Structure 1
Amino acid sequence: MTIPNSNQHNSRGPLLSVALLGTGPMGAPIARNILAHQIPLTLWNRTPQKARAIAGATVAATPANAAREIVVTVLPDLPQVEALLHGEHGLLKGWKDARIHHPILIIHGTVSPVAVANFAKDCLQNWGVTVLDAPLSGGTIGAEEGRLSIMAGGPAEAFERVAPLFETYSTTAVWFGETGAGSTVKACNQIVVAATVTALAEAMALAAATGLDLEKVQRVLAGGLANSEVLTQKGKRWIDQDFHGGGSAKNQLKDLNFIAETAGHTGLKLPLATCLRSAFANMLAAGDGDLDHTGIYRTIRT
């Protein structure tokens, strides 16, 4: 793909001024990919040193100072995004001072589809802010390599406006409908991820309990129908028994809670998702919530 500079035009029009808030494990590589495509970028992070470590960007002291026409947030949940809006140092004040009347706020975190739809309605009605919920799939490796998948909800014209930006750090970006639709797709994605992680953890637990070589077992799984991106990216964790860092179990449970909430609104019963929710609740109860979700292996083996 050829990505336009911010001052160039393309079939969707010129790219607008861009800021990214949240330079954690996902936000930092996303920022580096945006900058690699010669798009000027303003960064803000609660811990400023993390933002300053990204070469080539402008670092803002407050969210207000980072208010741009497009603001990308890469934060864990919706409350963290809402907290950036108000007050003397908030985005709303920044947009007002900069005379940006119709900004686009992109939410890349995994959030409640119900809550983000209500949030988007309030933002548009009260402040003229268009919200796109655009959760990500692909993990930190996908972010580093610029091959994330983005599932988006919100006004179609806003999605078209930011699509060139998405192309700098994703290989797939699909619009699904109104705000909340992207998060519903992410809920579908997370059922599969949580199930695959847990299934592989059970397989590794069974292999270990019977004295098998986990590396050899994984080699066989990878050669057949049991292969998956989870096995490719995370298989070594079970071999090394290293579950630190990565996508946390507490975030996996958060996602499963959103899945239960969304299913409840439709009257749908999801037996597998319900079992997975219980399994990860047990993992958190055991004190392992900060471990990578592959650490469910420890709960299974207990």
Structure 2
Amino acid sequence: MSTIAFIGLGIMGSPMAVHLQNAGHRVIGYNRSPEKTQPLVAAGGTAAGSVAEAVADADVVATMLPDSPDVVDVLAGEDGVLAHARPGTLIIDFSTIRPDVTTELAGQATERGFRLLDAPVSGGEAGAKNAALSIMVGGGAEDFETATPYLEVVGKTIVHVGPAGSGQTVKAANQLIVAGNIGLLAEAILFLEAYGVDTTAAVRVLGGGLAGSAVLDQKAQKMLDRSFEPGFRIELHHKDLGIVTSAAREAGVTIPLGATVAQLMGAARAAGDGSLDHSALFRTLARLSGRDA
């Protein structure tokens, strides 16, 4: 069993850290809001008062943070992981950030004797709680092999997709597909409601055909019920779509549908829905049609 420092104990990080603790590892958690360490402590883990304290004796450091600047600060900052962890430590970054930032951080980590994997996840809060996340991993093959036993504790579909930054690139593609599906699902439900169709029956039959998807299975009922408690917040998906559009532009790839849904997600955030589940994109599309959101 290993000593694991887990930094970032939010909606996703907290259940992941608890799973690792329950699997028999010694997990030391750190979060800027100390109260968020409570579930880990209740599971037998330890709360640290700083990043330096959390990583000092760690065999593995895991991070689950909101955005690129947060990861840069926690990993490469003056009081960060690279300054205080032991050389040779395996670092697994579960955050979703810009691929170019990951590549730069991986280079810095290697120069200082560390091993860094980018391992963004998909599956939302439910996937984190059920240890059923899809994990797309970038980095060295040997490091991936070392990390696999830890990844298997928190995920169900775990795939090494290439060198450093590849995990973030695949996650960007994932977020593009999910956002597009959510937008079209919202439009379809509004269309069905406008014609007075039994929407519950309609969703059931649509789910059994080519239109079926994990998005339909998990998000349609939220839209029908107008219930948008966050599993994955609009403000985070808005951030992720910013990564997609920026990376696509740099690669010379045109994403007209992605650009449209990125603008819609931005409008949802600007309208005050940023803290709601990303299925609440339905509200923005409903407002455009002058319908009940």
Q: Same fold (TM over 0.5)?
A: yes
1:162 aligns with 2:147: yes
Q: How far is 1:223 from its partner? A: 2.2
User: Structure 2 vs 1, CA of residues 57 and 154 (structure 1 numbering), >3 Å: closer, same or farther?
Assistant: same
1:110 aligns with 2:100: no
Q: How far is 1:181 from its partner? A: 0.4
Q: Distance in 2 between matches of 1:31 and 1:214?
A: 39
What's the counterpart of residue 73 of structure 1? 63
What's the counterpart of residue 226 of structure 1? 211
SS in 1 for 2:70: helix
Aligned AA (1:72) = A
SS in 1 for 2:61: strand
What's the counterpart of residue 182 of structure 2? 197
Gaps of 5+ in 2: 288-293
Contact residue 66 and residue 91 of structure 1 kept, 8 A: no
What's the counterpart of residue 231 of structure 2? 246
Aligned partner of 1:121 among 102, 107, 127: 107
> What are the within-5 Å matches in structure 2 for residues 1-302 of structure 1?
6=1, 16-54=2-40, 55-67=43-55, 68-85=58-75, 86-87=77-78, 89-95=79-85, 100-125=86-111, 127-302=112-287
Compute the TM-score of the two structures, normalised by the length of structure 1.
Answer: 0.88
Compute the TM-score of the two structures, normalised by the length of structure 2.
Answer: 0.90
For residues 148-169 of structure 1, give each alpha carbon's deviation from its aligned partner in whole angstroms, at most 9, with x where no partner exists. 1110111222111111100111
Q: Distance in 2 between matches of 1:188 and 1:245?
A: 22
SS in 1 for 2:32: coil
For residues 206-247 of structure 1, give each alpha carbon's deviation from its aligned partner in whole angstroms, at most 9, with x where no partner exists. 122233333222122222222211122222211210123221
The alignment covers a number of residue pairs equal to 282
SS in 1 for 2:29: strand
Contact residue 64 and residue 92 of structure 1 kept, 8 A: no
Q: How far is 1:108 from its partner? A: 0.8
Q: Distance in 2 between matches of 1:256 and 1:101?
A: 34
Name the one with the larger helix percent.
2
Q: Distance in 1 between matches of 2:23 and 2:202?
A: 41
* Alignment RMSD (CA, Å): 1.6
Q: Distance in 2 between matches of 1:295 and 1:64?
A: 38
Q: How far is 1:42 from its partner? A: 1.2
Q: How far is 1:20 from its partner? A: 0.9
Q: How far is 1:82 from its partner? A: 2.1
Q: Distance in 2 between matches of 1:292 and 1:173?
A: 25
SS in 1 for 2:156: strand
Percent of paired sites with the same residue = 37
For residues 55-113 of structure 1, give each alpha carbon's deviation from its aligned partner in whole angstroms, at most 9, with x where no partner exists. 111211111111022110111112112222434x5334432xxxx11222211111111
